[in-house]
């Protein structure tokens, strides 16, 4: 296993103190999954006190003592941070993720210390000095079988978040959940054990699922199978078996379509869509696509002739989007940023079909970022099995982006030609009339009647003569 040189150096020093350094956690697992990893956690076996470890590490770099009481030291060397910890035992003493009694013990053996971990694939170790892997619970076999299996029933249920961790790990690594782990997770859900989890911890696992899985749908299908959606996220569960027109959605019901769209967005947001703040922007797109058809659960109708329609679902979906998102996070601005993408996700295709004019496109840009909207609409279009979708092309999006670029509203609304200071320069006294004039000029801009500042000033002069 390839490691940073500093870890070998520290390991050699520890060996002189008859102390063993073992790499633990995700970096060992990721080595066998052939995934890149920069985070290294090191457990130190054989020391009696954290002060001894602090003294040794301080010879090579800076040491952050924030986690010292929990048996963890943050070591920084050459701008990289490493977690050095003592082996420890944990006992559940009360509800919540802080309800653990932690006992650090440098004399523990590796298997005893690893028993507190959640899954066998996360209980692997790498002995730096002996250059050998340690696998006390069969994690390597589980990696070969692509199976996620918990270590111990009693320790597993002590932290219900592990059910969500199972979901995101299975999706990220395309693993199946072992039968006994599946049974245990279902029991935890049915008994309401997940209700003690704060939304912040759940949201973090959802973000890992959405951002790191090639096909996030695998995680949501597992949540469905475990009973999580039915019990905790009724807005998503309600999409199951909601019919769609076979002409536009031959792939199946709204749930099937939503999962296909989500996977499309996972790909598009990595490869094609514009991203300023890459991670936050991707998360915005992914949640928008997850929520884009929530309204169909309450807006879908089937007439006597079997025609299926979901008129107005993009509007009814707004409240449902808020309900779902506020159950996950209190990030109000982030949630609000999703709503225009949900509300207008049909517009690119509708505008293209109607060959809408410049006025409509300019007005759309005042409500939503068109570049972002096209990304969401493209995922919606490709997330189905129509002949057109299977080509991989979204002509409506290309058309709208080209039009919006020419009109200079691709990723922002049309700039106002006139500001309040211009009215003052024309001799107007500041008054409530200012807003009325400025808004009227802007409407004329959107209509294409006023195209430059001279046009705007001429209109204002004529207006002032009329009042």
What are 167-179's pLDDT values in tens digits? Answer: 999 999 999 999 9
Q: How many residues does the chain have?
A: 467
In DSSP terms, which residues pair with 42 in a beta bridge? 23, 84
Report whether pLDDT(325) > 80: yes
Compute the distance between CA of residue 436 and CA of residue 440 in angstroms, rounded to an integer. 6
* CB atoms closer than 10 angstroms to residue 467: 6
Domains of the chain: 5-145 (3.30.460.10), 233-406 (1.10.3210), 420-466 (no CATH)
Q: Give the side-chain half-sphere CA count within 13 A for 60.
A: 23
Report whether pLDDT(466) > 80: no
Q: Give the side-chain half-sphere CA count within 13 A for 297.
A: 19
Compute the Cα dihedral for 174, 321, 396, 354 and give only its sign.
Answer: positive
In DSSP terms, which residues pair with 23 in a beta bridge? 42, 126
Question: Which of 17, 16, 21 has the alpha carbon at shortest distance from 75?
Answer: 21
Residue 118: in which H helix or E strand, if any? none
Q: Return the higher-pLDDT residue of 99 and 1.
A: 1
pLDDT band, residue 133 (cuts 50/70/90): very high
Percent residues over pLDDT 90 in the chain: 85
Report the pLDDT averaged over residues 279-292.
96
Longest dimension (CA), the chain: 94
pTM here? 0.92
Report whether pLDDT(96) > 70: no
DSSP annotation of 413 reads P
DSSP annotation of 352 reads H
* CB atoms closer than 10 angstroms to residue 356: 18
State the chain's mean pLDDT as an integer: 94
DSSP string, 287-312: HHHHHTTTTHHHH-EE-TT--EE-TT
Q: Return the higher-pLDDT residue of 275 and 325.
A: 325
Q: Measure Cα distances from 212 to 50, 160, 218, 371 in Å.
A: 35, 21, 12, 23
pLDDT in the model for residue 167: 98
pLDDT in the model for residue 92: 62
pLDDT in the model for residue 65: 86
Residue 231: in which H helix or E strand, if any? helix 228-232
Question: Which of 266, 315, 264 has the alpha carbon at shortest distance from 294?
Answer: 315
Contact by Cβ (8 Å): 150, 181: yes
| Helix-strand-coil split of the chain, %, nearest 5 | 55, 10, 35
Question: Which of 403, 399, 314 has the alpha carbon at shortest distance from 361?
Answer: 403
Is 230 buried (19+), middle (13-18) or exposed (0-12) by CB count in 10 A?
Answer: middle
Phi, psi of 20 (to 5 degrees): -110, 135
pLDDT in the model for residue 68: 80
pLDDT in the model for residue 38: 82
Report whether pLDDT(30) > 90: yes
pLDDT in the model for residue 139: 98
């Amino acid at each position: 296993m390839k490691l940073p040189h500093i870890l070998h150096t520290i390991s050699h020093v520890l060996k002189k103190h008859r102390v063993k350094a073992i790499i633990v956690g995700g970096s060992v697992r990721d080595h066998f999954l052939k995934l890149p990893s920069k985070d290294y956690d090191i457990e130190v076996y054989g020391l009696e006190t954290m002060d001894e470890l602090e003294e040794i590490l301080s010879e090579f770099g800076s040491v952050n003592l924030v986690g010292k009481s929990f048996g963890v030291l943050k070591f920084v060397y050459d701008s990289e941070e490493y977690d050095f910890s003592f082996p420890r035992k944990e006992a559940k003493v009360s509800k919540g993720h802080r309800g653990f009694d932690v006992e650090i013990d440098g004399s523990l053996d590796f298997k005893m210390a690893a028993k507190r971990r959640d899954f066998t694939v996360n209980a692997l170790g790498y002995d730096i000095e002996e250059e050998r892997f340690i696998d006390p619970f069969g994690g390597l076999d589980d990696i070969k079988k692509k199976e996620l299996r918990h270590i111990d029933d009693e320790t597993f249920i002590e932290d219900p978040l592990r059910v969500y961790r199972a979901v995101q790990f299975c999706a990220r690594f395309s693993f199946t959940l072992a039968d006994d782990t599946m049974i245990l997770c279902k029991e935890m859900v049915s008994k309401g054990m997940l209700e003690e989890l704060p939304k912040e911890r759940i949201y973090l696992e959802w973000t890992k699922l959405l951002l790191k899985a090639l096909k996030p749908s695998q995680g949501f299908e597992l949540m469905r199978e475990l009973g999580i959606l039915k019990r905790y996220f009724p807005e998503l569960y309600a999409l199951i078996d909601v019919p769609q027109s076979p002409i536009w959605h031959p792939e199946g019901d709204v749930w099937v379509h939503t999962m296909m769209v989500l996977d499309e967005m996972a790909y598009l947001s990595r490869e094609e869509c514009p991203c300023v703040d890459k991670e936050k922007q991707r998360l915005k797109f992914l949640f928008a696509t997850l929520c884009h058809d929530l309204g169909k659960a309450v807006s879908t109708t089937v007439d006597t002739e079997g025609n299926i329609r979901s008129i107005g679902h993009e509007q009814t979906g707004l409240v449902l989007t808020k309900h779902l998102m506020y159950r996950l996070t209190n990030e109000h601005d982030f949630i609000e940023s999703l709503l225009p993408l949900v509300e207008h996700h049909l517009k690119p295709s509708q505008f293209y079909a109607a060959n809408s004019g410049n006025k409509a496109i300019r007005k759309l840009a005042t409500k939503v970022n068109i570049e972002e909207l096209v990304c969401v609409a493209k995922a919606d279009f490709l997330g189905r099995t129509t002949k057109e979708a299977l080509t991989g092309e979204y002509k409506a999006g290309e058309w709208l982006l080209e039009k919006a670029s020419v009109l200079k509203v691709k990723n922002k609304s049309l700039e106002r030609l006139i500001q309040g200071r211009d009215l003052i320069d024309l001799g107007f006294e500041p008054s409530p009339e200012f807003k009325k004039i400025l808004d009227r000029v802007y409407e004329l801009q959107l209509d294409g009647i006023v195209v430059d500042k001279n046009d705007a000033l001429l209109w204002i002069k004529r207006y002032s003569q009329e009042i």
